[in-house]
Structure 1
């Protein structure tokens, strides 16, 4: 099923179920916020968060269009949960990722912000046996990964990790130290099992690299030397 959706291009990737706070100061996105607030609360007020391939989140001074901006095809809708209006006319928003979509066509909607016709993408129905088998393995490696990057908080964080395979796949994709293209590839994968399988490879890679780096001793004399910028 297709729908019209206002877009908010960002230099990040949003996943379903993840919280995304936003500070809105640019006029085109102030207009988007006002338009969303004017809608009834049922169904949920949604806009599309889509990562930038090329271009900037903030338009250069004097720019009247979105020229030079290139977007990824797959994004995630953000549900508006909380709006705080600021004295300067901007907004602080609390949003939550809701559902994935594919951009079919950018539309001329007569608004200062981008609007697209999008196709909603299906998620797993919770009965995927492959995902059920993969989830404990991903969870185990993710705990090892957390212990390496956040040793003081790993145990507390591990106790809060979800068992649901789909929720886990989105959480790992959003919180592991991955590049934007890697996160985007995870968002675009069809099915929870495929996402978990890819994350298992990425986590094993990152964990091995972290262990290798920590195993290499650094001479104390090098720690006091200012590195050259060249």
Structure 2
């Protein structure tokens, strides 16, 4: 199934189940949010795509900030963006005093980006929605990934962190795969590979490899400061 969506390029991918807060101040994205606000609540959706080559915020030159829906993405925005993204469903929109907006959205499903149109006030894209498949071996991989993720969080937070022991994780392999993908601290290309994985089993297998590698690296480093992410319960809803 294909659809046309407003596009919001960001420096990192969005995953299904992840809550996305946005502070919208550029005019192209203000126009996007104004159009979303005018739609029925059940139709306030847009596509989030990670930037492969370019800038999230339009560059500023001698004559001020560059204008246009593809500012910061070069002459070919399709090539500047990764080929897979996530549909975001808007929960609330609040207008700021300066004419900008604050909004919260939630990732709901993945898509393949087929084309990009830069002829309007903001980018739009033709997208193909992707079905979710568990894949072979996902159920068996889930507890292994959960254990590896606990170890990763503990080592990242430091040996004094005890609150992680009682943290509950979902038994759903697909939901778990997205929770781990969204929570891991790693580079955008690695996160993008997880988003593009063909099914939950492939995503979990890659996460298991990454978690074991990162835990091993952290163990060999001097103690690191705890990060807020590892001190709070994580939820994919």
TM more than 0.5: yes
| CA 1:101–1:153: 2 relative to 1, 3 Å | farther
Q: In the TM superposition, what is the alpha-carbon distance from 1:84 to its structure 2 partner?
A: 1.1
**SS of corresponding position for 2:99:** coil
Instruction: Compute the displacement of 1:78 (Å).
Output: 0.8
The alpha-carbon deviation at position 122 of structure 1 amounts to 1.0
In terms of mean alpha carbon deviation, does 167-176 or 134-143 score higher? 167-176
Query: Where do residues 135-214 of structure 1 align in structure 2 (5 Å cutoff)?
Result: 135-151=142-158, 153=161, 155-156=163-164, 159-214=167-222
Question: Which position in structure 1 is the counterpart of 2:46?
Answer: 47
Structure 2 unmatched ranges of 5 or more: 60-64, 224-237
1:9 aligned residue: 9
Distance 1:171 1:48 in 2: 19
- Inter-CA distance 36–163: structure 2 relative to 1 (3 Å threshold): same
The yes-or-no answer on 1:112 pairing with 2:112 is no
RMSD: 1.8
Instruction: Tell me how far 1:41 sits from its aligned partner.
Output: 1.7
Q: Cα deviations across residues 93-134 of structure 1 (Å, max 9, x unaligned)?
A: 1111111001111135x421111111001112x5x5511100
Out of 105, 120, 123, the residue aligned to residue 132 of structure 2 is 123
Change (3 A) 1:167 1:91: same
C-alpha distance 190-82 of structure 1, shift in aligned 2 (>3 A) = same
SS of the aligned residue for 1:177 comes to coil
Aligned partners of 2:29, 2:181: CA distance in 1, in Å? 26
Runs of 4+ in 1 over 3 A off after TM superposition: 151-154
**1:66-145 counterparts in 2 under 5 A?**
66=70, 67-68=73-74, 69=77, 70-107=80-117, 110-124=119-133, 128=135, 130-145=137-152
Q: Residue 225 of structure 1 corresponds to which residue in structure 2?
A: none
State the number of aligned residues: 211
Equivalent residue number for residue 218 of structure 1: none
How does the TM-score come out when normalised to structure 1?
A: 0.86
Larger radius of gyration: 1
Unaligned residue ranges in structure 1 (runs of 5+): 216-230
1:93 & 1:65 partners in 2: Cα distance? Answer: 20
The CA deviation string for residues 166-200 of structure 1, in whole angstroms up to 9 with x for no partner, is 11111111111111000000000110000000000
Q: 1:83 to 1:154 in 2, by over 3 A?
A: farther
Inter-partner Cα distance in structure 1 for 2:162 and 2:206: 22
Contact 1:25 1:91 in 2 (8 A): yes
* Separation (CA, whole Å) in 1 of partners of 2:98 and 2:194: 37
C-alpha distance after superposition, 1:56-104 (max 9, x if no partner) = 1121313335151510000001110011111111111111111100111
